[in-house]
Amino acid sequence: MGDRTTDSLYHKCGEEAVLLLINEMKKHPILYRSSPRRISQPSVELKMAQKDAWLDVMKVMAETYGNNICEEVAWTTWRVLYVHYGTTNASKKWRDELSFLKGCKRPMVKRPAVKVVKRRQAMTTDHSEEVVPHKLPKSGANMESPPYHPSQKDTLYIRYGADACTQLINEVGKYPVIYNQILMHYKYSHQLPEEALLAWNKVMKAMDAKYAGVPTELAYRAWRTIQINYKKVNCPKKYAGKILFLNNVPRRKRSLKKSNWSDANLLLSISSGHRQETPIYPDIDFSSQESPNEILKKVVENTTNLQQDDMSELEINGSDFSTSEVYDDVPLNLSATSDRCEDDLEKSARPSAAQLELQPPLDPFKKLLEKIWRGAAESRAREAIMSELRRKITATINNVEDIMWAKAVRTANV
């Protein structure tokens, strides 16, 4: 476009020409309400009514200044005035004349209004467990958070006070059929067993006499919460250990109703006889100075001391143990001992398909373990051998117990 001074309407025709251009543009809102940023040839790029309005402006300018007015110079002057208006680069000379552009020009960048976010005050209450704040809506950093108003659950304590809770506890204490129930299984009072439900109705009758209109489910929810949490860490301090009749309620043990056997005593039966009082895993005094190897040896010895009726009835995979098969003349070797120990232990625990009745292990099995144990203790690699032997002994004992349990289940089903 050449030198800026030659292309400026102000330098070419003077200040009056610029004022005339502004006044003529002010008469045509269809022109100044749209941005001229991307238009360089208005007579070509403008369409329909905008083009006609621009031609009217140029006609007035040509009548006043004749051939000295160029369309390109006039449009460039208007575009500079429009773009710079409202910015720090705008000339103060034309500020009042261009006031009609206020509200029509769209700013390039929207600056969000800065708002102060109020800090929520800390909540202090003696019953913070029952206070539930309103869920705050999702908001941006510049948005003002809504006022905080904590709300409380509708509980017996909130509605009727602490005396109502004490009265409820005293009334329930008269009926063991209520406080002996596992209320974790009954969320609502109407789900209670028939006998407990009748007793609960009596409790509510006494509560209604003192606190008229007390809801049944409100009282039940209060008692259910107290009983479930009584022996837990979240029990309120004013109730912890002070409800005497709940202190005597025994702790519930796991029921055997869902097990594979109907009577737990059947697990103790083996064949036609029964186990003596010798447990599978005898009690061990861990405060003694015995080494772990000596303790494990005692476990193996006590495990194999089971009552037996007839030694001749034991057959494992069609082969019998005999003392002549024990390693009498063969030196102890790590790999050979581990392999043979594994084979012998697996044979002693695996019954054949036709053998449905399992008899307890006999002395040859015990002697075999003792022989291997003594040989492992005297070997240079005794730690590795004993570690492997412990693992295999444990696996074998587990297999024997599983078979005994299976036999007990079959006996119960018969």
pLDDT band, residue 339 (cuts 50/70/90): low
Distance of CA 75 to the CA centre of its chain: 66
Pairwise CA distance, residues 237 & 376, whole Å:
60
> Which pLDDT does position 93 carry in this prediction?
82
> Which pLDDT does position 316 carry in this prediction?
42
Pairwise CA distance, residues 177 & 175, whole Å:
5
Cα pseudo-dihedral 196, 198, 204, 208, rounded to 10: -170
Highest mean pLDDT among 204-218, 272-286, 335-349, 379-393: 204-218
Q: To the nearest whole number, what is the mean pLDDT of the chain?
A: 69
For the ranges 169-183, 217-231, 310-324, 399-413, the lowest mean pLDDT is seen at: 310-324
> Which pLDDT does position 204 carry in this prediction?
92
279 pLDDT above the threshold of 50: no
Single pTM value for the model: 0.30
Average pLDDT, integer, range 127-147:
52
pLDDT band, residue 307 (cuts 50/70/90): very low
Residue 74: Cβ within 10 Å count:
26
Residues 252-277 pLDDT 10s: 554 444 443 333 343 334 333 444 44
Residues 344-377 pLDDT 10s: 545 554 544 444 444 454 566 677 777 777 777 7
Average pLDDT, integer, range 329-352:
49
Residues 138-193 pLDDT 10s: 555 445 555 545 455 678 888 888 888 889 999 998 999 998 888 888 889 889 99
Between the two ends of the chain, the Cα-to-Cα distance in Å is: 110
Average pLDDT, integer, range 85-102:
81
Tokens of 80: 């500079």
> Which pLDDT does position 198 carry in this prediction?
93
3-state SS class at 211: coil
For the ranges 115-129, 176-190, 205-219, 359-373, the lowest mean pLDDT is seen at: 115-129
- H helices within 333-362, ranges in order? 334-349
Delimit the domains of the chain by residue range. 4-101, 156-247, 264-413
Looking at per-residue confidence, does 137 or 205 come out higher?
205
323 pLDDT above the threshold of 60: no
Q: pLDDT exceeding 90 applies to what percent of the chain?
A: 6
> Which pLDDT does position 376 carry in this prediction?
73
pLDDT band, residue 5 (cuts 50/70/90): very low
CB contact burial 192-218 (16+ within 10 A = b; e otherwise): beeebeebbeebbeebeeebeebebeb
Pairwise CA distance, residues 251 & 242, whole Å:
17
> Which pLDDT does position 2 carry in this prediction?
41
39 pLDDT above the threshold of 60: yes
Pairwise CA distance, residues 296 & 231, whole Å:
39
> Which pLDDT does position 123 carry in this prediction?
55
